[in-house]
Chain A
């Protein structure tokens, strides 16, 4: 015999379960995928810490639009410059966020973009210099309203 209370509990579980399954459809990048994405850029060259500055608010209220600025401490001349800057979010479904390609005409090795951050995690910026050295910076961020989780 199903009481009214049992029925409500069961119904509640079903509804809750159904909505839950909608957003757990998101996969997250695995550590291996992140390493792969980085290796694709560096070609196995060592990644050194420093020279890169990743600016991002430490506390993110809305992960759907996060302003990131990356600057690289490097001369920008015809012979010495920053070739590319890549930004990664290891906990996003895809680790790559954005890659930019600069050159000696940039004047300053710096760019700003608006990105999505799925979860609290450590964002990573990697810069490739004209001498083929790679430099990186990681910044831990806390996200209160994650991107990707919301549905419509």
Chain B
């Protein structure tokens, strides 16, 4: 299982814009590199990232080989209700990683 770190404020005021950071450990092998003997290193990347807030999708990203290793993505959302953030990364070779975080909105 890939190492995942997400940062979501534990509590927020209703209507506040909160910042979310999500990082996942992954080589993001581009598929354009060769070994010293000239053998092509096959592509192995994360292709998609989705974040849901209480079950509703709030942010999605498509990654291409030009996303750096250990992809970090930062974005914002409005704190609407207490609930659960769920993060999901999917990619080549059946890669899948998930994480969740709770928020209390008052």
Binding site for B on A (CB under 8 A): 21-23, 25-27, 64-66, 89, 92-94, 96-103, 105-108, 110-118, 147-148, 150-152
Contact = CB atoms under 8 A, between A and B. Distances in A.
Nearest to B53: A105
B32 A148 contact: yes
B66 A96 contact: yes
Contact of A64 (B57, B59, B69): B69
Contacts of B75: 100, 102, 106, 110-112
A148 B73 contact: no
Closest 5 pairs between A and B when the two form their complex, measured CB to CB: A107-B17, A112-B74, A114-B68, A97-B66, A107-B78
Contacts, number: 114
Interface of B: 17-18, 30, 32-36, 38, 40, 53, 56-78, 80
A108 B58 CA distance: 12
Nearest to A89: B66
Contacts of B78: 105-107
Contacts of A108: 17, 76
B106 to A, nearest CB: 17
B68 A65 contact: yes
Contacts of B69: 64-65
A105 B58 contact: yes
Contacts of B68: 64-66, 114-116
Given A105-B56, A106-B59, A114-B71, 5 more contacts: A64-B69, A102-B59, A106-B78, A113-B73, A116-B65
Contacts of A23: 34
Contacts of A106: 58-59, 75-78
6 contacts: A25-B38, A25-B40, A27-B32, A98-B62, A118-B66, A152-B35
Contact of B74 (A92, A97, A111, A118): A111
Nearest to B49: A100
Nearest to B18: A107
A71 B53 CA distance: 22
Contact of B62 (A99, A103, A110, A148): A99
Contacts of B80: 105
Contacts of B73: 100, 111-113
A25 B64 CA distance: 19
A122 B40 CA distance: 28
